[in-house]
Amino acid sequence: MSTSAGSAGPDRPPLYVRRPLVAGLVRQWALFLVIIAVGIGLALVAVEQWRRGLVVVGLAMVGAALMRLLLPLPRVGFLAVRSRPVDVTLTAGVGVAVALIALAIPHP
């Protein structure tokens, strides 16, 4: 009888016991993607590409809203804070507002 490589055998503890950090990242992959995208945007702001950086941050927020809208509750992780309509409306609204304000500021 063979077992798949990802499953824990009868004598092996589950992933959350063996590697809790990896298991946490796997469970929170949606939030992890959003944090990475926001980090990239903030890095762009830090190197004086503020307009591009803020657009990336805004798009990351819109992406978070889309993931909150489309993913089932067990898969969305900590992106679920309030009810789905409130989360999607507020997150998408903030993302669109940040991106539009960054694009609306004229070049010096």
Query: Is residue 5 situated within a structural domain?
Result: no
* Total count of domains within the chain: 1
Q: Domain range holding 82?
A: 15-104
Q: pLDDT tens, 58-86?
A: 999 999 999 999 999 888 888 899 999 99
Backbone angles phi, psi at 23, to 5 degrees: -65, -40
Residue 26 above 80 pLDDT?
A: no
Alpha helices in 47-83 (DSSP H): 50-70, 73-76
Residue 23 above 80 pLDDT?
A: no
Query: Is residue 9 situated within a structural domain?
Result: no
Query: How far apart (Å, rounded) are the C-alpha atoms in residues 4 and 85?
Result: 38
Q: Between these two residues, 23 and 52, which has the higher pLDDT value?
A: 52
State both tokens at 58. Answer: 């805004």
Query: How far apart (Å, rounded) are the C-alpha atoms in residues 89 and 73?
Result: 17
Query: Is residue 4 situated within a structural domain?
Result: no
Decide: 46 and 94 in contact? Cβ < 8 Å. Answer: no
53 — pLDDT class (breaks 50, 70, 90): very high
